Chain A
Amino acid sequence: MPDGTFFSLRQVTKRFGTLTAVDGLSLEVQRGEIFGLLGPNGAGKTTLIHCAIGLLEPDGGEVVLSGGNPREPQVRARMGIAPQVLSLYELLSAEENLSFLGKLYGMEGRRLAERVAWALAFVGLESRRRDAVKNYSGGMQRRLNLAAALLHDPEILLLDEPTVGVDPQSRNSIFENILALKREGRTIVYTTHYMEEAERLCDRVGIVDHGRLLSLDTVQSLLASQGGLPRLVVETGGREIELFSADPLGELNRLAATAPIDRFRLEQPTLEQVFLNLTGRTLRD
């Protein structure tokens, strides 16, 4: 494994009957980064995550976490996951959920109580710790899902669509949590089909479709290499002119010299554009 690489997938393939969900995909995640897996629903992100955590055995290729195979329990214990499907016991309270999970990770006594208290405080649920989870809002359940992933202090965190169905307030809270974890130096793999989330949070992004990795780079590099030119829209003399240019300011000056400009706007390339350019369709197709 190269220096700095913490987690790697090498030529991973996973098939379900005739469907190839992951098709020879390779990527490496660096220690301390937030790595985004961006792709539409059904692109193979969740299958890839399940292979990465050792829940599914790849039909081909291998998964390596800092020298170990996640299918081994002691290696898997170094990972934390917040699955897309909420994995909580609704009839138990937040505290009971976390205490139970902590025991599965070998915690007990004071250490368990401290970790439970920390995790609940981290996601802002300490005041509701004794309430049954079924009485929580969707956003609170998502936050508890994150707390469950963090409880055992994992080295790497895999967050599978952690903001699905969440209100804006809880979404912001989750973003702040994730950024705080990054500041602590935690390695995070973040899957989403919301490009704005990837842009806001991720250091590097891998774009996945049909089980294949289409592109992988920093957000800025992807935007620069695959996003196309910035789009300048100018209104003049009752007409709207659209221009794609690497020098939008120069174009704007040239237009202003020929006719008065009523209004203009500049649109920078987005990951949505990157995905469109790479696949010919939008993320939400």
Chain B
Amino acid sequence: MSAILALAAKDLRLLIRVKSGLFFAFVWPLVIAILFGAVFSSGDSGSRRMAVALADEDQSAGSRDFAALLAKSADFNVRPASRAEAIGLVRKRQEAAALILPKGFGEASQQMFHGTPPKVEVWIDPSRQAEGAMIQGLLFQIVMKGFQKKMADTGAMRASLRQSIEDVERSKAPADQRASTGRFLESMDRALSEMPAASGPGGGGQGAQWEPLSIEQHDVAIQQEGPRNPFEITFPQGLLWGVLGCAMAFAIGFVSERTHGTLFRLQMAPIGRVQLLAGKALACAVACLAIEATLLAIGRLGFHVVPHSWALLVLAGVSTVAAFVGVMMLIAGLGKTEQAAAGVGWAVMMPLAMFGGGMVPLAFMPRWMAQAGVISPVRWGILAFEGALWRGFSFQEMLLPCAILLATGVVCFAIGTRTLRLT
């Protein structure tokens, strides 16, 4: 065992000494993950509107006016929907929030400075508290705009006031409260008759306690069907590039040992072929795991790449490493010289990476390309990482990609060790 550890430690030390190898193993995958993530992010940020689904259950003039104000707003991108559809869209993360205008919205919106204000239900992912607060603020702004509009239209405003005065007189509120609100509304009516262009909500007494809008926020249990941000797509790609680059570096390094004669010296040592190959495999595995850990740590700390299951993430990481340690051995077995190993290795790995989603994310791939990608371990590696990060895979769902990765590793390792010439 100590010989295996010594072999692995030596290979890792050599990897660290080769700056170009280190760059392609650690830095390049990170560049890919961050660069592509930023590119996809910038596509989203072209529209700063908040995507919301709106269900108008009231279908009144007031609710339609409110919906129209929302649609015109520079802050919202509104998709009309039914209540169930709207909440479903939030659940699937296709909309940031669902806004429901329940029955009675229009009637309530006609009441000024008294009674129950119009109610809006906001359905949102509880993890998006900041966006929830922002939506509330924006809704108030829109309501106030509607209010301003009414104030500017003195005819409409006075009609609303007269209606409100009648409502107050008919209400069952205490007599003194009815009287004070009535006086306030009468004075507003007089003021409007004298200053037809007056604007802005004013008032005191009961009006000061009155809110123009009632917002009822509800949590939506999120159904994980898409990544939370573009980095959750690009980091799995980066991880696979890192592991792939590392496997290639070790394969070429192995061939280099043969061509430079150091393998000869290793074979002279009192260690068997199994120990020798185990040392190589261990070094490659440790380096690949280090790359994965580094990238995931950076993704977690800097880019909100958060796994839904750490255990499944470990399973994905280990399975991917197992596959590519096997690939490393296969390439080392196929290449007689460093140039041949690099040529054969990249000639095989580039198409596998391309069809496997290493360049174009699996979700954006043409169907035929995605189907062709099933032969690529890159695809299964990315799928396993995505499963643990954002696809919400269960353990059973993880078994398929992980089993394929492990089988790939075993088969490639077996072929590689059989074809590998040590002399």
- The residues of A with any CB-CB pair to B shorter than 8 Å are 50, 53, 55-56, 73-74, 76-77, 79, 81, 83, 85-92, 96, 100-101, 103-106, 108, 148
Contact = CB atoms under 8 A, between A and B. Distances in A.
Given A55-B268, A105-B270, A83 B261 contact: yes
Contacts of A100: 6, 9-10
26 contacts: A53-B268, A55-B267, A73-B272, A76-B268, A76-B270, A77-B269, A81-B268, A85-B260, A87-B264, A87-B265, A89-B262, A92-B13, A96-B13, A100-B10, A101-B269, A103-B6, A104-B7, A104-B266, A104-B269, A104-B270, A104-B271, A105-B269, A105-B270, A106-B2, A106-B3, A108-B2
A53 B2 CA distance: 23
B6 A87 contact: no
Contacts of A91: 14, 17-18
A147 to B, nearest CB: 12
Interface string B118-142: 0000000000000000000000000
B423 interface: yes
A74 B270 contact: yes
Interface string B259-283: 0111011111111100000000000
A108 B3 CA distance: 11
B13 A87 contact: no
Interface in B1-46: 2-3, 6-7, 9-10, 13-14, 17-18
Nearest to B6: A103
Contacts of B260: 85-87, 90
B333 to A, nearest CB: 19
A92 B17 contact: yes
A148 B270 contact: no
A100 B279 CA distance: 13
Interface residues of B, number: 23
B270 A106 contact: yes
B256 to A, nearest CB: 10
Nearest to A75: B270
Contacts of A148: 265
A141 B30 CA distance: 38
Contact of B6 (A73, A77, A104): A104
Nearest to A104: B269
A56 B422 CA distance: 11
B264 A83 contact: yes
Contacts of A90: 260
Given A96-B13, A100-B10, A87 B270 contact: no
Contact of B14 (A56, A87, A92, A105): A92
B385 to A, nearest CB: 32
B261 A56 contact: no
Given A74-B270, A79-B268, A87 B10 contact: no
A56 B17 contact: no
Contact of A77 (B10, B14, B265, B270): B270
Nearest to A76: B270
Interface in B377-423: 423
A137 B153 CA distance: 95
A73 B275 CA distance: 12
Contacts of B266: 104
Contacts of B271: 73, 104
Nearest to B279: A104
By Cβ-Cβ distance, the 8 closest A-B pairs, closest first, are A85-B261, A103-B6, A73-B270, A104-B269, A87-B265, A77-B270, A87-B261, A91-B17
A90 B253 CA distance: 13
A12 to B, nearest CB: 17
A50 B265 CA distance: 12
A55 B421 CA distance: 12
Contacts of B264: 55, 83, 85, 87
A55 B2 CA distance: 22
Interface centre among A85, A92, A104 (most CB of B within 10 A): A104
Nearest to A53: B268
Nearest to B10: A100
Nearest to A81: B268
B2 A103 contact: yes
Contacts of A106: 2-3, 270
Contacts of B3: 103-104, 106
A161 B2 CA distance: 32
A92 B268 CA distance: 19
B255 to A, nearest CB: 15
Contacts of A74: 270
A169 B303 CA distance: 60
A76 B272 CA distance: 11
